[in-house]
Structure 1
Amino acid sequence: MFNENQIYDNYLDGVTKIGRATILIGMIATLAPALLMTFYFGHNPGISNIIAGAVCQISVSGAFWFSEPISYYPIVGRAGLYMTFLSGNTVNVRIPAAISAQQASGHLPGTNKGSIMGTVGMGVSVWVCAILLTLSIIAGETILSNLPESFMTVLSLIIPALFGGIFTQFAMKSPKTGVFALVVCYIMMQVVKLLPGNMSFLITVVAVFSSIYVAKKLMDKELKKQGGEEE
């Protein structure tokens, strides 16, 4: 007989095999147009321009390669990471969908069942987005062109509203960590303005890892306090 942990471990083994294969296929599909243009048609911007573009991109988003897997993993688990990094729209669609599924099911982030429910929520969001995106591509231009200017302005506020909603959900569980994160973000925004170049990625890196550190210290303090009361 398999216990719950064994079943979950078998599930993760399957997820890892499928995830690695789909990520590899995604990488090939992403690089295919550039490789086709370079080696079949003989058109490319030159190695110097490619390196310059890569350096610019890495300087902007390279830090996210480390901070995002660490910060998202407790919410969505291994399957969710494979899914969201392949499908995209991580913060504005996948994470809210995962959190909504976890809250509706009553399974907390960081647990095996919570990770599975987060994956289910993200999977549904992928299909919904694919269907809606197909419909919007077909009819979206006609609809959007007839919408009033004020409505289009409101649409630009959707992502900030999602960020605020997600932040509030977690800040309510640890208000001190939430306040600390806001203060750190504000300080880092001011610091980045004084630095040369586009160093905005430092805001995310410092805010994520410092908030994790503070949350861990507060958790340890609370557990120690509870242990003292029980004694």
Structure 2
Amino acid sequence: MSVSTSVSATGTAAGSEQQLAEFDRTTSRWGRATMLAGLAISMAGPLYLIFFTGLDISAGQLWTAFAAVAAVFAIIWIVEPVTYFPILGPAAMYQAFMIGNISSKLLPSALVAQNRIGAQPGTRRGDFAAVAAICGAAAIHLLSLTVFVGILGTWLISMIPPQIIDVARLYILPSVMGAVIVQSILTIKQPRITLIAVAMAVLVQFVLLPLAPGIAFLTTGIAVIATIAVSWLARDRKAATAAAAK
């Protein structure tokens, strides 16, 4: 009886691993395809303007514009994937970068879903929770856009007092970001990393930035990279060795 039970459990585990491997292959294949399709569609408009409308835009102007954008956002191209991947996982990363509004909408949704079912980020369960949460967030977003923008549109905005709109512009994004940070701290439950992240943010914001105001656009990347480096150096080597031995 025990032998048959063990064989059955082994077969079930092997079947589950095969299904998970197939899930990874499918999401990677379609994820790459949809991302490339999105890139092609987003580039179609600018390329049409350059080659078919006679705007007379030179290559030098294009590279100058690209350099201006890269000077501001290039660090984000590295920081965002490194920061989001441990929480979202590979499948949800494809969704997130295709949909957008990651830090203000999709990441909070994933964190709340993971916390609600007790799933740790970086695990299979956490990855599936992130995928489901992003699907739900995108569906609600489309529904709300249809109702409040497509149907009601400017009428609703005209009914809101300007003072409320000004308050929303000032405080909604910081409140969302604050909620994301608190949710991340509660979900990950790593006091040492939390203290390091807070210390790095304080040092960059109140020490480094006043000394070098020209790096204002790089402060987020500097804080994230410094937190990663210091956290790795201050890691619990005994715990890491024990976990690797299991």
Q: Same fold (TM over 0.5)?
A: yes
Matched, 1:220 2:236: yes
Residue 168 of structure 1 is aligned with which of 182, 187, 191? Answer: 182
User: Compared with structure 1, are the counterparts of its residues 149 and 214 closer, same or farther at alpha carbon in structure 2 (3 Å cutoff)?
Assistant: same
2-side partners of 1:211 and 1:196: how far apart? 20
Shift of the 225–218 alpha-carbon distance from structure 1 to 2, 3 Å rule, reads farther
Match of 2:4 in 1: none
Distance 1:47 1:61, change over 3 A: same
Contact 1:188 1:202 in 2 (8 A): no
Aligned Cα RMSD in Å? 2.4
What is the number of equivalent residue pairs in this alignment?
226
Determine the structure 2 residue equivalent to 1:191: 208
5 Å matches for 1:69-108? Answer: 69-108=81-120
Q: Which residue of 2 aligns with 1:143?
A: 156
Q: Which runs of 5+ in 2 are unaligned?
A: 1-10
Q: Distance in 2 between matches of 1:86 and 1:64?
A: 16
Task: Quote the offset at 1:222 in angstroms.
Answer: 7.0
Counterparts in 2 of 1:171 and 1:6: CA distance versus 1, 3 Å: same
Residue-by-residue CA offset, 1:148-196 (whole Å, 9 max, x unaligned): 2332133221221121112122334233432332232232234234436
* Structure number with larger C-alpha Rg: 2
Contact 1:92–1:159, Cα closer than 8 Å, also in 2: yes
> What is the DSSP-based 3-state SS (H/G/I as helix, E as strand, rest coil) of the residue aligned with 1:109?
coil
For 2:198, the aligned partner's letter is L
Match of 2:129 in 1: 117
Question: Aligned partners of 1:9 and 1:218: how far apart in 2?
Answer: 34
SS of residue paired to 1:36: helix
After TM superposition, the structure 1 = structure 2 runs for residues 44-63 of structure 1, keeping only pairs within 5 Å, are 44-63=56-75
Aligned to 2:8: none
Residues 72 and 46 (structure 1), Cα distance of their counterparts in 2 relative to 1, 3 Å cut: same
Q: 1:194 to 1:213 in 2, by over 3 A?
A: closer
Tell me, in whole angstroms, the C-alpha distance in 1 between the residues paired with 2:191 and 2:227: 12
* Larger mean Cα displacement after TM superposition, 40-49 or 57-66: 40-49
Unaligned runs of 5+ in 1: none
Q: CA deviation at 1:221?
A: 5.2
**Structure with the higher fraction of residues in helix conformation:** 2
Task: Give the Cα–Cα distance (whole angstroms) in 2 for the partners of residues 196 and 45 of structure 1.
Answer: 33
1:159 and 2:191 aligned = no
Contact in 2 for aligned 1:38/1:44 (Cα 8 Å): yes
Q: Using the TM superposition, give the Cα deviation of residue 134 of structure 1 relative to its aligned residue in structure 2, in angstroms.
A: 2.8
Q: Is the 8 A contact 1:74 1:109 kept in 2?
A: yes
Aligned-pair identity in percent equals 25
**Aligned counterparts of 2:190 and 2:212: Cα–Cα separation in 1:** 32
Label 1:144 to 1:186 Cα distance change in 2 as closer, same or farther (>3 A).
same
TM-score by length of 1: 0.86
Q: Residues 194 and 71 (structure 1 numbering): CA distance in 2 closer, same or farther, change over 3 Å?
A: same
Name 2:76's counterpart in structure 1: 64
Relative to structure 1, the CA distance from residue 71 to residue 9 in structure 2 (aligned partners, 3 Å threshold; closer, same or farther) is same
TM-score w.r.t. length of structure 2: 0.82
CA distance in 2, matches of 1:144, 1:135: 13
